Amino acid sequence: MSASSTPIAFPANDGALDARKLVAILGLALLLRIVWALLIPVIPQSDVLAYDTFARTLYHHGVFGWTKDEPFAFWPPGTSIFYAGIYKLFGLHYTGVIVANLAIAVGLIICSARVIARFFGAQAALWAALLLAVWPTLVTLTTLLLSEQLFVLLVVGALDAWTAPRLNVWARAVIAGLLLGMATLVRPFAVLVPGVYAVAMVLSYGWNRERVREQLLLAVVSGVVLLITVSPWTWRNYQLYGHFVLVSTNGGATLWMGNAPGTDGLFMQFPEDVKALNDYERDKVLGALAKQYILDDPLAFVQRSFLKLVRLYNNESCGVLWNMYGITKTFGADAVLWLKRFTQLSWAFIFGLFAIGAAMLAYSRTHRRLLLSPLPLLMLFFSTVHAVVVSGERYHLVTMTSVAALGGIAIATLLKRQRASTPVLATEASR
């Protein structure tokens, strides 16, 4: 990265990451997750059961679908392909899943700390890493087959490559494109992330001909690599449906769930008259219905979008719910409610730190532009997607690094202010 595009640290340029502190944080993260995995057995349900089923069908038959005779593309394949690979390595038991999830957690914390340090300073990065390490819901993901942490690791890893100061622009673009291609196979809207990163880097550090040229090159090259990465799956879909399907056939369906008569913005069962259609045809029909419903009453669409945005962030207990059978087996049914309350309170605390950090940036004349840097803008992008399509608390987990980054800013800045004020208070007390 050229010197002109090097991020400004916040609240101060406080040096490189302290490796010993980061290793200690990683040790704590692993300890919490290993203890959880020893206590709570993996008993798949809901979406976890679906990913497990798809992974096992891939493992046994090389087919992505509920059974070998039902290939489809309604769900993106990336998560199931990943866990099918884990089954190939470790066998058909959940020990391998836990080991893989531990590795994902470690990688996510490291990549997040590296990226946050570049934009907001080393102290904020270490506090953010600590938040990610002890975040209760993220700990519960250790015993689940889900897409959230894998997706965030790939997206943040791509940002790490995108802003890597020791790589040339071509290497950065290729590595970022490869990782974002994998992320697109996990969640298809990642196809737009190269544009988000490029725009964010220009907006947050000012218009400069060299910077614009560099970011445009990064966006184009990484976008091409992304499309090459997903192209084998796109070809598989064309062979299956006879139509172009980049990754999955649920874009129209999820738009309909968030924009249909009687919707509350959350998951909805499909109407009876489309259940007989294949997933490609059903997606097209539901997408057309949703678009017409939006056009018929644009004001209602805006109101729904606001409510979906609220539902996106107003709660966090999905990790406990998806582990419900395992928790009940170990601690009894009453523990589920208590753990739900605990994760809800911890989420309120973490989101409160995020809000404080965002306010600090907004009120800082020097660093206000960093609200438009890649992590905050990525959170805005993800939030906008789910304000338009289907929403729900689980979907805010993809913003975990962005939330932790601004939470880390809040903690680092408050502690810095407290240390700065201590001598003054002591002097006044001695008078």
Listed by start position, the domains of the chain span: 12-422
Report pLDDT for 421.
Answer: 62
**Does residue 298 surpass a pLDDT of 80?**
yes
Query: What are the tens digits of pLDDT across the range 350-369?
Result: 999 999 999 999 998 888 89
Tell me the pLDDT band of 243, cut-offs 50, 70 and 90: very high
Give dist(CA 303, CA 326) in Å, integer: 38
- Rounded Cα gap, residues 208 and 202, in angstroms: 8
- Pick the closest to residue 151 from 180, 192, 174 (CA basis): 180
The mean pLDDT of the chain is 93
What is the model's pTM?
A: 0.93
Counting Cα atoms < 13 Å in the Cβ hemisphere of 351 gives 17
State how far the Cα of 199 lies from the Cα of 194, in Å rounded to an integer. Answer: 9
How much is the pLDDT for 3?
A: 35
Average of per-residue pLDDT across 399-409: 98
**For 230-238, what is the mean pLDDT?**
98
pLDDT at position 16 over 90: no
Share of the chain above pLDDT 70, in %: 94
Q: What is the mean pLDDT of residues 254-275?
A: 93
Kindly indicate the confidence band of residue 263, based on its pLDDT and cuts at 50, 70 and 90: very high
Segment 85-94 shows an average pLDDT of 96
Of 299, 320, 336, 338, the C-alpha closest to 393 is 320
Would the pLDDT of 426 be above 50? no
Quote the pLDDT of residue 7: 37
**Chain centre to alpha carbon of residue 396:** 7
Token pair 């609200």 in the structure block, residue: 371
How far is it, in rounded angstroms, from Cα 38 to Cα 251? 38
Task: List the one residue out of 268, 271, 294, 295 whose CA is nearest residue 282.
Answer: 271
Comparing 198 with 6, the larger pLDDT belongs to 198
Calpha distance 133→252 (Å, rounded)? 36
Q: What is the pLDDT of residue 6?
A: 35
Average pLDDT over residues 148-176: 97
3-state secondary structure of 342: helix
The pLDDT score that the predictor gives to residue 14 is 52
Residue 383 clears pLDDT 60, i.e. is over it = yes
CA 50, 30, 335, 38 torsion-angle sign: positive
- In angstroms, the CA 262 to CA 258 distance is 10
Residue 395 has pLDDT above 70, yes or no: yes
What is the mean pLDDT of the segment spanning 158-174?
A: 97
Residue of 231, 257, 255 whose CA lies nearest to 245: 231
Q: Band the pLDDT of 116: cuts 50, 70, 90.
A: very high
Does residue 147 carry a pLDDT above 80? yes
Residue environment code for 91-100, b if the CB has 16+ CB neighbours within 10 A, otherwise e: eeebebbbeb
**Mean pLDDT in residue range 153-173:** 97
Burial (CB < 10 A; 0-12, 13-18, 19+), residue 152, is buried
Question: Given this model, what pLDDT does residue 55 score?
Answer: 98
User: In the structure, what pLDDT confidence band is assigned to residue 418 with cuts at 50, 70 and 90?
Assistant: confident
Residue 10 confidence (pLDDT)? 42
- How big is the chain, counted in residues? 431
pLDDT at 365: 81
